[in-house]
Structure 1
């Protein structure tokens, strides 16, 4: 077996060994400080003042970059995947609540901006690229899925059709309500609010309030003139 083929396996062995050894140490016994120290050897980068609670799972840690002041709580799974072009980036001040699942899959870049909050049970999945801007609030049980199954052939099982991938962008200062679903190919404009339970299938303009299935804009947060003055 060539060195290039064996290296990912060696990285995974190191990753499993370190996370198994330290991953369940209670934070009350300085477990978070030990994790912060030793996890630096398996991640692409780990910033300062990072808090990782016990019971967090990491896969493909070499593709994961964690900024300063990031908080990651119990039950979270971060999967950087196996592809060498993958990247999962958590910017400074990101907070990830319990049982969040973020997966890169193949040839994927996921970027979560500064001071963004992910509520419990959020699921974010490639393989399409996903960008979430600064200071966003993503409420519990929201799903952000940058892929879609093809199903054009009624004879062949859908499982074997493959998928399409366009990517998703959620711009700065958005509030995504409880149990929202954001589908592939969507951009949610800066400052927008998406009501609880909505399914976002098309682009949402900046500073909109959108609700429903599928999500439709029902109003704007301010007049265009006021917004232009605020941003000038």
Structure 2
């Protein structure tokens, strides 16, 4: 690791110049190729055929990894600033739709696995770690917040009592409907479906359908499949 302060300042300056200049180039064959070519040296990793549209904001590209054929649409903001261990990883064929807000700050790792779709204006925020599995569908305006304010002491300002950072895990092939909220410490099992507007404050078993505030499991997708299988 290079601890030379002048080198660090130069890298940050290069990141700022490139992301500002390239971020405004129109989406076309030339613009896409320029972004792929000139962005590559400033990211921790960048696969082939990455599609970064104009108007995307990156902060601390040295902590950001982009897989092959990843798609990042206009208005996305990825902030990985403030700590040397911050990390944001977007794997192959995963996509971030317009206006997605990612905050991988304060010693945070946010990982989005292959083929997962993150809908418009979704917010992903640490400081707890977030891991989203393969081929998930996360609908618009969902909030995934791996932190929760501590408020036990009524004599002290809430903002001064710190936050939890237990982290969030969402298994493969999950579908979260519009405006779902996932709170710190939650694991959503593989193959689960969370209904629109639900607030997930406790773990959801694999292949569950959960709805409501707070979210509660209303049926199992596996049991439903068994009923279909043996009803003939």
Alignment correspondent of 1:139: 139
- CA deviation vs aligned residue, 1:106-132 (integer Å, no higher than 9, x gap): 111111010000000000001101000
Q: Is the 8 A contact 1:52 1:72 kept in 2?
A: yes
Per the TM alignment, residue 32 of structure 1 is displaced from its structure 2 partner at its CA by 1.7
Distance 1:142 1:7 in 2: 38
Confirm or deny: 8 A CA contact 1:123 1:141 kept in the other structure: yes
Provide the TM-score with structure 2 as the length reference: 0.93
Given the alignment of the two structures, is residue 122 of structure 1 paired with residue 126 of structure 2, yes or no? Answer: no
Mapping 1:65-144, distance limit 5 Å: 65-144=65-144
Please name the residue that 1:51 is paired with. Answer: 51
Match of 2:140, SS? coil
Contact 1:24 1:55 in 2 (8 A): yes
Distance in structure 2 (CA, Å) of the matches to 1:148 and 1:94: 27
What TM-score do you get using the length of structure 1 for normalisation?
A: 0.93
In the alignment, structure 2 segments of 5+ residues that lack a partner are none
Cα separation, 2, equivalents of 1:9 and 1:187: 39
Is 1:212 equivalent to 2:229 in the alignment? no
SS in structure 2 of the partner of residue 9 of structure 1 = helix
Deviations 1:67-113 (A, max 9, x none): 00101000000112231111111010001100001111111111101
Moved more, 36-45 or 188-197: 36-45
Q: CA deviation at 1:225?
A: 8.8
Per-residue CA deviations over 1:157-205 (Å, capped at 9, x if unaligned) read: 1111111110000000000000000000000000000000000000000
User: Equivalents in 2 of 1:148, 1:7: separation in Å?
Assistant: 36
Q: Which runs of 5+ in 1 are unaligned?
A: none
Q: How does 1:193-212 map to 2 (within 5 A)?
A: 193-212=193-212
Contact 1:209 1:221 in 2 (8 A): yes
Aligned-residue CA RMSD (Å): 1.9
* Large movers: runs of 4+ above 6 Å: none
How far the C-alpha of 1:10 sits from its partner, in A, is 2.8
